[in-house]
């Protein structure tokens, strides 16, 4: 049967124990540093996410305001177009009235000319 060794009787050199303790301490210290770095990065991600959310909200509000102004301007343009349509209708009516008046005046002038021509012709006949 193999000899069993008692752990209490084992002798380890102090250098090995100190080395293991130093390595373990270094591993714990490094792990804590990594955890702290990860926590800091996670906090930065949260801050950036919050900042981006605020910026997106501000940009969205600005865009909505711009669209509302465009809609208001569009309504004003529609009102202007309606006024222009009414003015054009008035101008068309005035043009038609001008044409009628013009035609009537020329008819009157022609009638007057014919009357004057008849009178002139009659006077010429009388003179002869």
What is the Cα–Cα distance from 13 to 104, expressed in whole angstroms? Answer: 134
Residue 4's φ and ψ, nearest 5 degrees, are -95, 135
Q: Which phi and psi angles does 92 have, rounded to 5°?
A: -65, -40
Per residue in 16-49, pLDDT (tens digit) is: 889 999 999 999 999 999 999 999 999 999 999 9
**What CA–CA distance (Å, rounded) separates 104 from 99?**
8
Confidence of residue 5 (pLDDT cuts 50, 70, 90): low
Closest CA to 14 of 22, 5, 6, 26: 22
């Amino acid at each position: 049967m193999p000899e069993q060794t008692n752990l209490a009787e084992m002798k380890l050199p102090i250098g090995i124990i100190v080395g293991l303790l130093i390595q373990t301490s270094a591993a714990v210290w490094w792990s804590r540093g990594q955890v702290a770095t990860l926590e800091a990065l996670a906090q930065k991600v949260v801050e950036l996410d919050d900042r981006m959310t605020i910026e997106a909200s501000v940009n969205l509000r600005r865009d909505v305001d711009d669209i509302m102004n465009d809609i208001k301007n569009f309504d004003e343009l529609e009102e202007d177009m309606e006024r222009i349509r009414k003015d054009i209708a008035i101008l068309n009516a005035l043009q038609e009235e001008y044409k009628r008046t013009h035609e009537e005046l020329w008819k009157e002038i022609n009638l007057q000319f014919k009357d004057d021509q008849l009178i002139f012709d009659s006077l010429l006949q009388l003179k002869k």
